[in-house]
Structure 1
């Protein structure tokens, strides 16, 4: 999987330089490009060919209920941050995870423009370009650098959170930044798709943190609905403080 994600990232770099890259809006209003589809095709070819008995869930493949019959499931976002990809910016990545019995066991987030490869294996830790990741933690939210949408950050402002409402980083990179200690946490409200979460969630957990929905419930993947209700990610102590703040 790591090799396939790297290969997809390099293909993305080549396509990003292509002039006149076709793009259009999907039914939900989000943008997609021929680059998204090309990376999706590459990942599907590499991963499904290698493991034909695994299920498949990708942002760029129509969902099929047959995936739920599989114990193991690939969860793929060929390009997380399509707008940045279209505009030639650096804030896009390739993300892939393998879930087993509803939980991620292998994950990778690759940011090709900066040559940053985040990876994690359940029980074996998380790394950035091979260097182990370990998060700092605190029960205090004072001065904490928390990325999120404005609706999620609003109840945290009175607690001294240094909110970052910027939408530049897609969710997978926000989670990777939490795992790497570049952010102290990430919050979001509303439905969040499984392909935007699974790989990054494992990075945070394996770096010593915690991830859940906004009510504190843990994520289970490969359900009929391929989404989770909200996001709270941080070190374990700060995660508990964020959950308490969002509940009040």
Structure 2
């Protein structure tokens, strides 16, 4: 995983994310057409598809030998044979986008042989640009970031859904954490990376495009990112999903893994 190649890819991702943000803002607050995906997969809009087209054209033109995995593209099994692939969520937090809120992000990553080696999470409305490579620091708008020093689940601040309040998810009582939520899962990981929240957990399967870029940023900041069993996440999997997600500083991460049930109920 040579540093110069990762740095060049990070620059490419950053420029593409900024272009994606400029395009998304042409639709934001202008009532873009939107509809629900099949099987309760959530909303999608014409803006999601336009940003996806821009990113695919720009990134694949620059790296034609890289594979492609995006929430808004038909999955091509050829990605499984590629040494490097782009993993992209064109607009992460589409509900926030459609509600004219600023908490949506463009999440772009490069994965090499199962590991994320470059990642960018860009929030154009809030002017937040998170980035990292596998050998460099995690940055927010060019400045290094670090997670919190919180060590215990009880009293921690956690970004998660109401599912985490279900007693069936825990080995003992539901912890006394303070729960919040952000529409963009990629942003949740970055908020942990910069210490604004102590942890984020997802107890449902997590799509790779939601977590690839943010997991690298969190890890390079000093947090641990794993599935709900505490195992490292191998990206570019055939299912393109991880078995849940736990992201937190190391000692706190251990406490979450110790207290979560390995399987629901």
TM-score of the two chains, using structure 2 as the length reference? 0.88
SS in 2 for 1:28: helix
When residues 82 and 159 of structure 1 are mapped into structure 2, their CA distance, relative to the original with a 3 A threshold, is closer
Q: Is the 8 A contact 2:16 2:59 kept in 1?
A: yes
Distance apart, 1:158 and its partner CA? 4.6
Q: Hey, what does 2:228 align to over in structure 1? A: 214
Q: Which of 171, 174, 179 is the matching residue for 1:163?
A: 179
Q: Hey, what does 2:79 align to over in structure 1? A: 67
Q: Is the 8 A contact 2:95 2:183 kept in 1?
A: no
Separation in 2, partners of 1:139, 1:180:
16
Q: Unpaired segments of 5 or more residues in structure 1?
A: none
Q: Hey, what does 2:192 align to over in structure 1? A: 178
Separation in 2, partners of 1:158, 1:189:
14
Q: Hey, what does 1:120 align to over in structure 2? A: 132
Distance apart, 1:157 and its partner CA? 6.5
Q: Which of 66, 84, 101 is the matching residue for 2:113?
A: 101
Q: Is the 8 A contact 1:153 1:163 kept in 2?
A: no
Separation in 2, partners of 1:225, 1:94:
22
Deviations 1:129-167 (A, max 9, x none): 001011222332232101112222444865432222x3x
Q: Which of 23, 26, 30 is the matching residue for 2:34?
A: 23
Q: Which of 52, 59, 82 is the matching residue for 1:40?
A: 52
Separation in 2, partners of 1:112, 1:138:
30
Separation in 1, partners of 2:244, 2:132:
22
Count of residues in Structure 1 that have an aligned counterpart in Structure 2: 245
SS in 2 for 1:94: strand
Separation in 2, partners of 1:194, 1:13:
25
Q: Hey, what does 1:204 align to over in structure 2? A: 218
When residues 235 and 112 of structure 1 are mapped into structure 2, their CA distance, relative to the original with a 3 A threshold, is same
SS in 2 for 1:243: helix
Deviations 1:166-209 (A, max 9, x none): 3x432111101000111100011121100011001001000001
Separation in 2, partners of 1:157, 1:233:
21
Separation in 2, partners of 1:2, 1:134:
21
Separation in 2, partners of 1:119, 1:153:
31
- The structure that is strand-richer by fraction is 1
Q: Does 1:245 align with 2:245?
A: no
Q: Is the 8 A contact 1:153 1:187 kept in 2?
A: no
Q: Hey, what does 2:5 align to over in structure 1? A: none
What are the equivalent positions in structure 2 for 1:124-135 lying under 5 Å apart?
Answer: 124-135=136-147
Q: Is the 8 A contact 1:59 1:76 kept in 2?
A: yes
Separation in 2, partners of 1:157, 1:35:
42
Q: Is the 8 A contact 2:159 2:179 kept in 1?
A: yes
Q: Hey, what does 1:147 align to over in structure 2? A: 159
